[in-house]
A and B are shown apart, each in its own frame.
Chain A
Amino acid sequence: MRAVLLIAVNFVREQRWPIFVLLLWVLLLAFLGLVTDIRHSRDDLLFLFKQVVAYVLVFSIFFGGSAIYNERRSRRILAVLAKAVGRSQYLAGLILGVTFASVIYCFSLGLTGSWTLGQAGFPVGRVWVFMVALIAACTLAGTIALTFSTFLNPFFAAGATAAVLALPALAAHAIAAGWAYLIPVYPIAVILMESSFEKAGVVPWFLVLWAVLETAMFWGLAARIFSRVDVVVAVD
Chain B
Amino acid sequence: MAVVLEFEGLTKEYRSFSRRRRVRALDGFTVQVEAGEIFGFLGPNGAGKSTAIHLAMGFMCPSSGRGRILGAPFGHAPTRRRVGFLAENVALYHRRMGSLVRFYGALNGMSGPRLAKSVHQALATVGLLDQVGRNVSKFSRGMLQRVGIAQALVNDPELLILDEPTSALDPLARVAIRKLLLNLREAGKTIFLSSHLLSEVELICDRVAVLHRGKLVRLGRTDDLLQSGEQTEIVARGISGKTLEGAVFNNGLATLVVPSRKHRAALERLWDLGGEIVSVNPVRRTLEEIFLEVTADRESFGPKDKA
User: Is A35 interfacial (CB 8 A cutoff)?
Assistant: no
- Write the chain A residue with the least CB distance to B100: A79
Whether B103 and A6, one on each chain, are in contact in the complex, defined by CB atoms closer than 8 angstroms, is: yes
Size of interface on A: residues with Cβ below 8 Å to B: 26
Determine whether the beta carbon of A10 is less than 8 Å from that of B93.
Answer: yes
Q: Which residue of A lies closest to B78 (CB)?
A: A84
Residue B80 contacts which of A10, A82, A231 (CB distance < 8 angstroms)? A82
Nearest-neighbour CB distance to chain B for A89, whole angstroms, equals 7
| A86 x B77 contact (CB < 8 A) | yes
Contact of B107 among A74, A78, A83, A233 (CB under 8 A): A83
Query: B210 CB to closest chain A CB, in angstroms?
Result: 22
CB contacts (< 8 Å) of A231 on chain B: these are 59-60
| B87 contacts chain A at the CB level, 8 A cutoff | yes
* Minimum CB distance partner of A80 in chain B: B107
Q: Does A81 contact B (CB under 8 A)?
A: yes
Residue from A6, A13, A79, A230 within 8 A of B60 (CB atoms): A230
Task: Kindly state the separation between the CA atoms of A141 and B148 in the bound complex, as whole angstroms.
Answer: 35
A14 to B109, Cβ gap below 8 A? no
A10, B103: Cβ atoms closer than 8 Å: yes
Interface residues of B in 43-61 (CB under 8 A from A): 50, 54, 57-61
Question: Which residues in A have their C-beta under 8 angstroms from that of B57?
Answer: 78, 81-82
Encode B156-176 as 1/0 by CB contact (under 8 A) with A: 000000000000000000000
Distance of B2 from chain A, by nearest CB (Å): 21
Q: Which residue of B lies closest to A71 (CB)?
A: B91
Interface string of B139-151 (1 = CB under 8 A from A): 0000000001001
Contact with A along B98-115 (1 / 0, CB 8 A): 000001101111010000
Which B residues, 78 to 93, have Cβ-Cβ distances below 8 Å to chain A? Answer: 78-81, 83, 85, 87, 89-93
Residue of B nearest to A83 (CB): B107
Q: B271 within 8 Å of A by Cβ? A: no
Given contacts A3-B107, A6-B107, A75-B87, contact A83 B80 (CB under 8 A): yes
CA distance A211 to B14 in the complex (A): 37
Q: Provided the pairs A75-B91, A76-B92, A231-B60 are in contact, do residues A2 and B111 lie with their beta carbons within 8 angstroms?
A: yes
User: Do B14 and A82 touch across chains, with their CB atoms under 8 A apart?
Assistant: no
Contact with B along A77-103 (1 / 0, CB 8 A): 011111111110100000000000000
Chain A residues near B108 (CB, 8 Å)? 83-84
User: What distance in Å separates the Cβ of B145 from its nearest Cβ neighbour in chain A?
Assistant: 13
Judge if B261 is at the interface, Cβ distance under 8 Å: no
Q: How far is the CA of A81 from the CA of B93 in the complex (A)?
A: 14
Cβ–Cβ contact B85 & A82, under 8 A = yes
- A154 to B61 CA separation, bound complex (whole angstroms): 23
Could you tell me if A85 and B77 are in contact, using CB atoms closer than 8 angstroms? yes
Interface of B is mostly: mixed
User: Are A2's CB and B106's CB within 8 A?
Assistant: yes
Chain A residues with Cβ below 8 Å from B59 are: 78, 81, 230-232
Against A, the Cβ 8 Å flags (1 = close, 0 = not) of B65-85 are 000000000000111110101
Chain B contacts of A232 at CB under 8 A? 50, 54, 59-60
Interchain CB contact under 8 A, A78 and B80: no
Given A2-B111, A6-B106, A89-B77 in contact, is the A81-B58 Cβ separation under 8 Å?
Answer: yes
State whether A76 touches B106 (Cβ < 8 A).
no
> In the bound complex, how far is the Cα of B111 from the Cα of A85, in angstroms?
15
Cα–Cα, bound, A232→B12 (Å): 13
**B103/A78 in contact, CB under 8 A:** no
Residues of the B chain whose Cβ atoms lie less than 8 Å from the Cβ of A86: 77
* Residues in chain A near residue B107, CB distance under 8 A: 3, 6-7, 80, 83-85
CA distance A10 to B92 in the complex (A): 12
Residue B95, interface by CB 8 Å: yes
Closest residue of chain A to B82 (Cβ to Cβ) is A84
- For residue B60, which residues in chain A have a CB less than 8 angstroms away from its CB? 230-233
Across chains A and B, which 7 residue pairs bring their CB atoms closest together, nearest first?
A82-B85, A83-B107, A84-B81, A86-B77, A75-B91, A230-B60, A78-B87
**Residues of A bordering B, CB below 8 Å:** 2-3, 6-7, 10, 13-14, 74-76, 78-87, 89, 228, 230-233
> What are 25 contact pairs spanning A and B, CB under 8 A?
A2-B106, A2-B109, A3-B106, A3-B107, A3-B109, A6-B103, A7-B107, A75-B91, A79-B85, A79-B87, A79-B92, A79-B148, A79-B151, A81-B58, A82-B57, A82-B83, A83-B104, A83-B155, A85-B107, A86-B77, A89-B77, A228-B61, A230-B59, A230-B61, A232-B50
